[in-house]
Structure 1
Amino acid sequence: MSPTPATVDHTIDTGHTTIAVRDTGGDQPPLMLLHGAGGNLAWLSVLAGHLADRHRVVTVDLPGHGHSGELPAWDWDAVLDSLDAVVDTLGLTDPAVAGSSLGGMVAALWATRHPTCPGAVSLDGTPAPTRPEQLTGLDPAHATAELGRLHAAFTAMTDAMARPVPPDQLAAIRQAQLAGLTRHGGTEADWTEAVTRNETTVAGETWLRPLPATLAALRPAMDSLDLPGLYRAARCPLLVVLATADLPEQLPYAELYTAYRRWQVETSRAVAADNPLVRVQPLDVASHAMIAEDPAAIADLVADFVTR
């Protein structure tokens, strides 16, 4: 029996920034896992554990997150270039790619660049809605008003993140983040690194990553994505997994998100009818936090798709 490979952390210089990765090693087919906005590679540890017996799993801190460096400017091509540098440096041959939320958007973009990729999986890789026409079934005026409410909530959240953490509030913030993660499953030990890995010190003050410059660039970058067009441009097998349930934070906007999910399913399935490389799968009783809610089932879904 071959010895179990040791998991190793690397920092890879891409020429434009540094990318922190965690590599389970071994000679199984490679799979890169990508986290969501405001996350880091430790958010993927439980999911990676369920995949490590079938894949050489490489989890990545996306630029501006975790222990990775900042990009001179966040844009999708620069992010993909950084991941190409990871693949080249680690000697990964045609890795499959799966990502959650922001990472799912990157995985879908990867599918447009890498035709020999065995499979890319977007796990609810959808930005928040921005236009009334994305809210199927809602009156346009009502849709506009609901989008205004949602936009105001996101702006308040971004403003709160774009300042250092007062020292007397750091412990409470950590505990609140842990509570938010463990409510979906797993133990405090599973998620502790996920909380602390995004903390950084700037001029003697504690900040939570992503820092203001990346925050300011991320939201318009996500809002600018044409998801149906992106799926239509896929050049390798692409699985689009869609949430069907609300997060607790989404409940005040339940009508909006129900309409948005309806639009996602309709437009994605229309693309899949034209592009045989695309498969769309709404996941029953799964929210945007699906990788935490049922990591074993998500691992099976990913592995089954990318090894077909």
Structure 2
Amino acid sequence: MKLAAHDHGGDGPPLLLLHGAGGDLSAWETLAPQLNARCVAVDLRGHGRSPDGPWEWDAVLDDLEATTVQFGLSQPIVVGHSLGGALAGMWARRHPDCPAAISLDGHRSGTTNPENYVHYDRLEADLATLTSMFDAQQETITRPSREITDVWRRSPEFADALPVFARVTAPFLLVLATKNLPVPPDLIPLMDAHRAGLRRDLPVVCPNVEVQEIDATHGMVAEQPLEVAAIVNEFIRATA
């Protein structure tokens, strides 16, 4: 499958930019010019101007392989946001010689398994409420297709990408948001418990992963592109 892509150009190592679920390559318009690299952003299959197709993780990675060949990106660094961050980990697992990979707050679904949260009294009820909200939201979305979003929601890699990250041998950075996206006040404890679960589990499950926190929400790429770019540039410089 040939993906829609945009070559931002730039000097430095080749860098492949992967957007989040429901997004497209335009998410990188502000951040890409700030990176010390030659940046190529893509629309993942079923997103933006890329064709539709069944969502299988290996097939999506094959799409990215073809894109790197098309643009002559030899051993690219992969930077992904949200869903793209999980894919960055999968790419690095597939390519042990990858120079580096970076996940921008791509780690676990908001409705991950209950054991991935730090427990509190209303956990199960709040998780059911959030799941219902996502169910209702799914009915209003036309792209990506329901077939794709259904695959995500059943996928263990989407529910929790930490086991994927644990198998990465390349330098890997996870940038963790410290602020919650706007949610009903009753669900703030659930969001806090989600982040607390990550802070608890990352050193145990993924001791190979460097973690940096940023004072932003999950929308960090749009909210703080300059700060995100500085973090990415420094990690690339340090790993080089």
TM category, shorter: over 0.9
Pick one of 261, 275, 278 that aligns with 2:195: 261
Pick one of 42, 52, 55 that aligns with 1:70: 52
Cα deviation 1:226-255 (Å, max 9, x = unaligned): 423112101211101111111113654110
Aligned counterparts of 1:251 and 1:97: Cα–Cα separation in 2:
35
Aligned to 1:214: 148
1:284-295 alignment, distance < 5 Å: 285-295=215-225
Aligned counterparts of 1:134 and 1:304: Cα–Cα separation in 2:
30
Structure 2 letter corresponding to 1:124? D
Aligned to 1:160: 140
Cα deviation 1:182-203 (Å, max 9, x = unaligned): xxxxxxxxxxxxxxxxxxxxxx
1:220-235 alignment, distance < 5 Å: 220-221=154-155, 224-235=158-169
- More off after superposition, 298-307 vs 151-160: 298-307
Displacement after TM superposition at 1:147 (Å): 0.9
Q: Is the 8 A contact 1:131 1:147 kept in 2?
A: no
Aligned counterparts of 2:30 and 2:156: Cα–Cα separation in 1:
26
Aligned to 2:82: 101
Aligned to 1:243: 177
Distance of aligned partners of 1:217 and 1:250 in 2 relative to their CA distance in 1, 3 Å threshold: farther
Structure 2 letter corresponding to 1:134? N
Aligned counterparts of 2:237 and 2:77: Cα–Cα separation in 1:
9
Pick one of 212, 216, 231 that aligns with 1:281: 212
Q: Is the 8 A contact 1:120 1:306 kept in 2?
A: no
Displacement after TM superposition at 1:214 (Å): 2.1
Unaligned runs of 5+ in 2: none
Distance of aligned partners of 1:260 and 1:307 in 2 relative to their CA distance in 1, 3 Å threshold: same
1:104-253 alignment, distance < 5 Å: 104-126=85-107, 127-139=109-121, 142-161=122-141, 208-221=142-155, 224-249=158-183, 251-253=185-187
Aligned to 1:35: 19
Task: Select the structure of larger CA radius of gyration.
Answer: 1
Aligned to 1:271: 205
Aligned counterparts of 1:36 and 1:212: Cα–Cα separation in 2:
16
Structure 1 letter corresponding to 2:164? L
Aligned counterparts of 1:224 and 1:211: Cα–Cα separation in 2:
16
Distance of aligned partners of 1:80 and 1:249 in 2 relative to their CA distance in 1, 3 Å threshold: same
Unaligned runs of 5+ in 1: 1-16, 162-207
The runs of at least 4 aligned residues of structure 1 exceeding 3 Å deviation read 222-226, 249-252
Aligned counterparts of 1:212 and 1:224: Cα–Cα separation in 2:
15
Q: How many residues align?
A: 237
Structure 2 letter corresponding to 1:263? G
Tell me the TM-score normalized by structure 1. 0.73
Cα deviation 1:155-193 (Å, max 9, x = unaligned): 0000122xxxxxxxxxxxxxxxxxxxxxxxxxxxxxxxx
Displacement after TM superposition at 1:222 (Å): 6.2
Aligned to 1:299: 229
Q: Is the 8 A contact 2:153 2:159 kept in 1?
A: no
Aligned counterparts of 2:27 and 2:10: Cα–Cα separation in 1:
22
Tell me the TM-score normalized by structure 2. 0.92
Q: Is the 8 A contact 1:95 1:118 kept in 2?
A: yes
Q: Is the 8 A contact 2:174 2:210 kept in 1?
A: yes
